[in-house]
């Protein structure tokens, strides 16, 4: 099959998301303790947690360059570097639980013009997550 004209997907789902962090212990604690993701692997430079369908690799900035060379790792405080969206059954209830666990919401919960109800928050490394679910009345 000609790869240029093929309509078949070139990738098969999302296996691993690697997030770069300046503070591995704080970012690891956020995902393990606040979001409750199970730890799969950990060493001096990384922590890998399971989301159920994909792995989340938290990697110290100091060793991240080798993965993106010749590009560079963007610095913190320069705006959002990515947005990861996860589906939830009840955005309001999930947002309330996140807030109870000390997470400060960036926005929401609110109904978006394109359909879902969402709320967004950032991890300690500045990576932005969005919870999305059905719009409410």
pLDDT value of position 78: 74
7 domain-assigned: no
66 domain-assigned: yes
Question: Are both 31 and 84 inside the same structural domain?
Answer: no
3 domain-assigned: no
Question: Are both 54 and 86 inside the same structural domain?
Answer: no
Tell me what the mean pLDDT of segment 26-42 comes to.
Answer: 97
- What are the tens digits of pLDDT across the range 78-116? 777 678 989 999 999 999 999 999 999 999 999 999 899
Tell me what the mean pLDDT of segment 119-124 comes to.
Answer: 92
- Last-in-domain residue among 72, 90, 119: 72
Question: Are both 86 and 64 inside the same structural domain?
Answer: no
* CB burial of residue 119 (10 Å; 0-12, 13-18, 19+): buried
Tokens of 17: 């998301």
Expressed as residue numbers, the domain containing 60 is 13-72
Question: Are both 47 and 87 inside the same structural domain?
Answer: no
- Looking only at the bridges linking them, the beta strands covering 83-87 and 128-133 are parallel
45 domain-assigned: yes
| pTM score, whole prediction | 0.77
Which whole-number Å values give the CA distances from 108 to 93, 129, 133, in the listed order? 12, 12, 12
4 domain-assigned: no
Say how far apart CA 60 and CA 23 lie, in whole Å: 7
- What are the tens digits of pLDDT across the range 46-90? 999 999 999 999 999 898 887 777 778 888 777 776 789 899 999
Question: Are both 84 and 67 inside the same structural domain?
Answer: no
Residue with tokens 């503070």: 23
């Amino acid at each position: 099959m000609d790869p240029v004209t093929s309509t078949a997907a070139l990738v098969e789902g999302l296996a691993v998301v690697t997030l770069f962090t300046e503070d591995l212990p704080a970012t690891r604690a956020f995902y393990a303790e606040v979001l409750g993701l199970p730890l799969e692997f950990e060493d001096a430079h990384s922590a890998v947690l399971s989301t159920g369908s994909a792995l989340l690799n938290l990697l110290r900035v100091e060793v991240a360059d080798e993965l993106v060379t010749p590009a560079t790792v963007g610095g913190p405080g320069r705006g959002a570097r990515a947005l990861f969206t996860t589906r939830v059954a009840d955005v309001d209830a999930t947002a309330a639980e996140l807030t109870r666990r000390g997470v400060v919401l960036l926005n929401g919960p609110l109904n978006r013009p394109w359909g879902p109800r969402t709320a967004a928050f950032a991890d300690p490394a500045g990576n932005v997550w969005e919870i999305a679910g059905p719009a409410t009345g």
